[in-house]
Amino acid sequence: IVEQTWPIVIDGRFVGVAGVDRSLDAIDRFMSELKPYRTAEFILISHRGRIISATLDASLKTRPLEQTPFAGALESLWKSTRDGVEVGMWTEARARGGDLIYAAARVPTGDWLLVMRVAEAEILEPVWVGLRRVVLLGGLGLGLTLVLLAWLAGSVAKPVGAAARAASRVAGGDLSVCVETGGADETGQLLDAIHRMTLSLSGLIGKVRHSGQAVNAAASRIEGATGAQETVVSDLGSSTTQISAAATEIATTAGELLKTMNDITGLVADTAGLALAGRTGIEGMESVMRGVESGAEAIATRLSVISEGARAVTGVVATMTQVADQTNLLSLNAAIEAVKARDQGAGFGVVAEEIRRLADQTAVAALDIEQRVLHMQASVVEGVDEMRQFGAQVHEAVGAVVRLSGQLEDIIARVQDLLPRFEQVNQGMRSQSAGAEEISMSMRILSGVAHQTTDSITELDATVADLRQAVATLSEEIAFFRVSDQSPAGNG
């Protein structure tokens, strides 16, 4: 049994609930009687997604959608109708037996989903039947139309055949054909028009022949005149081209030479600047080297003073060593006296032992100081020697810098003498380049005029040749036609 309930609302007030109980067997019978197609099958789904009734398989009852063989189609239809689609559609493609179409709609009273599955071939069968009927009726209409056209063609075939034969003779060049005219219908008017056309073409051919002869004679005269003019212009063009090429080459060479001279002048000026800067740098270097030399001498002097101080420290250390030895001897004597005094000299013995220990430490420290001072004295002596050698090297470098400064002054003087000469050469090259450029420009203009004239003559020759060709072609075409003696062509 399936129970359906619905709230009862009157004037906006809830007054009760209406319920209907229906057996599943009754629903199955109702759905079986509902089939509009032979292959139609129905599936009724509750609002919870379970099968209520299925005509194609009774074992599907109470199953969830995802546990049925049609889960893909049913879930898609369930979702689409939930999203607001009134009628959901789904097509199941099958390799055999044809495709199946699913259609689904919601049942408002219980929010159920009613799905119908039917074969696509059964739905399209009425369409194919109607299409076959339309094709059959169209074929019958086409046959009747062809019969009617054949009867109409027979009635006009004879005069049209005569017109076709006359047109064929005219197309073959026979303008002497005589076309019989007559009749007021369309075919008679066509024959009359062909007759008038042959007469007009005969007169036109005679006039074209006469005009072609006149054009051919004029073309011969034009060709002779253009031949002589073309020879003159060709010679002029060759001469101007050669002159223009020579002038262009001169201008190019002068321009390149001018550019080279400008580069050389710039390099010379840069060299002079660099030499001046080098001289200034060398002067500064000389001052620095002299300062380094003075500094080296000062350092050597100070190192000598340090060496003398180290010798004095060595004397002091010797004195400390002698004092330590005497103190050690004194402590030994004190220890002997303490032993002699026995118990009364015990304290004096301790003092004597401590004095001897301090004397030993003083001797050790004095020996260490002496070694360090001797090492420092040796390093200082070595430093003094090296500083003296360094001073000698610096002195030699100062002499080399002085000599280099003198050489740079000589170079600067010579470079400054060259600058005015380079400027004079540049001025001459500019004048030569400007003159060559003017000559080249004039020659280019003259050469352009000559080329334009040659192009015009060539174009005129081509036009005359085309005209001759057209006249020859027209004569050949006219020779193809035959005209009658009574034609007006004889007067042309």
Helix 186-341 × helix 120-171 angle, to 10°: 120
**What does the angle CA 218 – CA 219 – CA 220 come to, to the nearest 5 degrees?**
90
Q: What angle do CA 113, 114, 117 make, to 5 degrees?
A: 130
The pLDDT score that the predictor gives to residue 275 is: 67
Average pLDDT over residues 453-462: 74
Q: Specify the pLDDT at position 309.
A: 72
Alpha-carbon radius of gyration of the chain: 66
Q: Where are the alpha helices (DSSP H) in 3-119?
A: 24-33, 71-82
Percent of the chain at pLDDT above 70? 66
Counted residue by residue, the chain has a size of: 492
Please give the model's pTM, rounded to 2 decimal places. Answer: 0.31
pLDDT at position 490 is 42
Tell which CATH architecture fits domain 2-120: 2-Layer Sandwich (3.30)
Q: How many other C-beta atoms are found inside a 10 Å radius of the C-beta of residue 81?
A: 19
The pLDDT of residue 491 is 42
CA distance 492 to 483: 13
- Same topology between domain 2-120 and domain 243-457: no
Closest CA to 62 of 76, 85, 45: 45
243-457 maps to CATH 3.20.20.70: no
- Please give the pLDDT value at position 151: 67
Distances in Å between the alpha carbon of 23 and those of 1, 28, 53, 65? 4, 9, 11, 21
Q: Could you tell me the strand order of the sheet in which 112-119 lies?
A: 51-54, 41-45, 112-119, 100-107, 87-92
Domain boundaries, the chain: 2-120, 243-457
Give residue 422's pLDDT: 66
Say whether pLDDT at 174 is over 70.
Answer: no
The pLDDT > 90 percentage for the chain reads: 0
Strand pairing report for 112-119 and 41-45: antiparallel
DSSP string over 298-366: HHHHHHHHHHHHHHHHHHHHHHHHHHHHHHHHHHHHHHHHHHHHGGGGHHHHHHHHHHHHHHHHHHHHH
Of 320 and 218, more confident:
320
Is the pLDDT score of 103 beyond 80? Answer: yes
**Above 70 in pLDDT, residue 226?**
no
Q: What pLDDT, in 10s, does the model give residues 314-363? A: 777 777 777 777 777 777 777 787 777 767 666 767 777 777 777 777 77
> Does the pLDDT value for residue 88 go beyond 60?
yes
